[in-house]
Amino acid sequence: MLKEFRDFITRGNVIDLAIAVIIGAAFGKLVTSLVDGIIMPPIGLLLGNVDFANLFIDLSGQRPLSLADAQLKGLPVIAYGAFINDVIAFLIIALVVFLIVRAINKYRREEAPATKACPYCLTSIPIEATKCSGCTSPLVAAADLRQGTP
């Protein structure tokens, strides 16, 4: 069982996943810092000096001065300002992931295949081949197909 576990852990895809999780956590901290320190202060300023991180609804009726005061006293609150920050951070991360996947997909689409399979023997042959190197069957050239010539 120990050998099986070692084989599982040393597989390439498990190590790749571990690296992705570590990089993802670091990226999450970076985005949180960006949202809390750079994006939200100007938005709060535009909305009348609102600090989103301190927005909360007091459920206790004791009217604490701030979210930190309510948390220090252990009062029940709904901290919706932190939720707003987290939603913005999520949207930024989702946008970055979307842009990365989009770029990868665009790169994959641009790669034209260099070979094709012979329809008779399934040997891999160059795209522009007119005769199969494996079974010597005549093939229709791509240029002829474009011009409509059989």
Query: pLDDT tens digits, residue range 28-71?
Result: 888 888 887 888 788 878 877 777 778 888 888 888 888 888 88
Residues 89 and 137 occupy one common structural domain? no
Residues 106 and 118 occupy one common structural domain? no
pTM: 0.53
Res 142 pLDDT > 50: no
Residues 95 and 131 occupy one common structural domain? no
Q: C-alpha angle with apex 67: 46 to 24, nearest 5 degrees? A: 75
Residues 11 and 51 occupy one common structural domain? yes
Packing angle, helices 12-34 and 80-110, rounded to 10: 130
Res 143 pLDDT > 50: no
**Residue 16 lies in domain:** 2-111
3-state secondary structure of 117: strand
Residues 50 and 74 occupy one common structural domain? yes
Residues 40 and 73 occupy one common structural domain? yes
- Domain total in the chain: 2
Average pLDDT value over all residues in the chain: 81
